[in-house]
Amino acid sequence: GGAAMAAVRDVEIDPEGTFKYILVRLQRPGGGERRDVVRGTAAAEFHNHIFEKVNPEMQKLGYECECLGGGKIDHNSKDKKMRVFGLSTGYGKADHSVTVEILKKVYTDYEITWSDDKK
């Protein structure tokens, strides 16, 4: 139960660059525990490519996945800064403030900001 969910990382994103990201809600079927995770990579040309990779992985662990929206992350590892912005055409805009809170759990020494800017 809890161990499997603990094994799922809050954040899996590229170490550098600007790339698409999605906010994904994981939930045990029938309610119970649920949490939101951030996934992003420059390898994904479209937001749904990220979801198509995450979804089967999480289903194997027994979770239902829902994409809560997307955007972009600009990750500057040298200056320890991240900027969350933009939106997903397919999934709509994620709540970037929620995304920032999740990112801060992992990147504790970063300056992380968000905006509704498109770029």
Q: Is residue 1 part of a domain?
A: no
Domain count, the chain: 1
Q: Is residue 4 part of a domain?
A: no
Q: Residue 108 above 80 pLDDT?
A: yes
Binding site as annotated, residues for substrate: 20
Q: DSSP per residue over 28-78, as a string? A: -TTSS-EEEEEEEETT-SSHHHHHHHHHHHHHHTT-EEEEEEEEEEEEETT
Model pLDDT for residues 5-25, shown as the tens digit of each residue: 667 999 999 999 999 999 999
pTM over 0.75: yes
Binding site as annotated, residues: 20
Predicted confidence at residue 3, as pLDDT, reads 66
Residue 24 sits in a domain whose CATH number is 3.50.20.20
Range of the domain at 95: 11-115
Predicted confidence at residue 51, as pLDDT, reads 98
Q: Report the chain's mean pLDDT, rounded to a whole number.
A: 94
What are the residue numbers of the active site?
Answer: 47
Q: Is residue 5 part of a domain?
A: no
Predicted confidence at residue 7, as pLDDT, reads 79
Q: Is residue 3 part of a domain?
A: no
Model pLDDT for residues 34-91, shown as the tens digit of each residue: 899 999 999 999 999 999 999 999 999 899 999 999 999 999 999 999 999 999 999 9
